[in-house]
Amino acid sequence: MFSQLCLSFILSLQIIVLPISQALAAVPPQKTLEERLKARAQRAPATKFTSLIFDLPLTYNKKVSFWISYFQSKGKNWFRDWLERSSKYMPFIQKELKNAGLPQDLAFMVMIESGFLPTAVSHANAVGPWQFMQATGERYGLKVNSWLDERRDLKKSTLAAIRYIQDLYQEFGSWYLVAASYNMGENGLRRQIVKRQTRDFWTLSQSGALPQETMDYVPKILAVMMIAKSPALYGFRDLAQFEPLDYDIVSVPGGTDLANLATKLGVTTKSLKDLNAELTLGYIPSRIESHTIRVPKGSINLVAQYLEGHKK
């Protein structure tokens, strides 16, 4: 009799165990980000709250909160630099993401990857704003050789990143997993998904399946999204604003030196090199017949004069 009662009790427990999807759906949702920001705005009445739009799914938890606090404290100077540089590069990146039908907030990956520095190089030798490894960059059409590294080309690397992200989303079907696989590599993530039998980023993270850098990567993206869309609420005021990238395209022959050309154009060598960060030597080797470069808007006639005076 007792064993029958125990069996009945166990069966009753099995009946109330929900599938994970239903169990998650039954959990009351956390306050939305806008509710949190409105509450903060009420505590800081001098700052006007404006409605925010996010096109990536938002999660607010201890890990995200940690990185928000970090960027407000120890990482504040870095983050201010990132925010200020973003005004120069973000419009172009978001436009290309939108044209590709991807969430524009994926542009914040660049903030975490490189701080919007086209010449950034990681400890693993990933290069450029999107921090491509050479093999991955070449897989998506980016040239790397002795004088040219298209991983540092904002336009070409962004278009390559878009194709890569599209492939990742087609496989993983989750923007958090897209970001995780971008950081750790799709092969490693694929193995962990099969091993742990879950496609939930947070479950994978809590189980220890992911490298620490990847466990931090998604929370960092969410943290920078939240801060960057309302910086004053997080203590970032009086930010410098740069003009969005705007330039002309011109073909120049091999042997063209950016420093000499900059003198003719009346701009600094640094500014011209920044526009053409993919030219790792600062010039086009004479063995190259011609190459397309970017020059300040409205300076094509000056470039023509320079080339006329430097004909071989």
Q: Which residues are catalytic?
A: 113
Question: Which phi and psi (to 5°) does residue 253 adopt?
Answer: -80, 165
Q: Return d(Cα 244, Cα 80) in angstroms, integer.
A: 17
User: Which residue, among 269, 286, 296, has the nearest Cα to 147 in the 3D structure?
Assistant: 286
**Per-residue tokens: 116:** 């919007």
Number of alpha carbons in the 13 Å side-chain half-sphere of residue 48 = 1
Angle separating helix axes 175-184 and 154-172, nearest 10 degrees: 120
Closest CA to 195 of 181, 210, 184: 210
Q: Which residues contact 161 (CB under 8 A, 6 or more apart)?
A: 130, 132, 140
Q: What is the DSSP string of 118-136?
A: TT-B-TT--BTTTTB-HHH
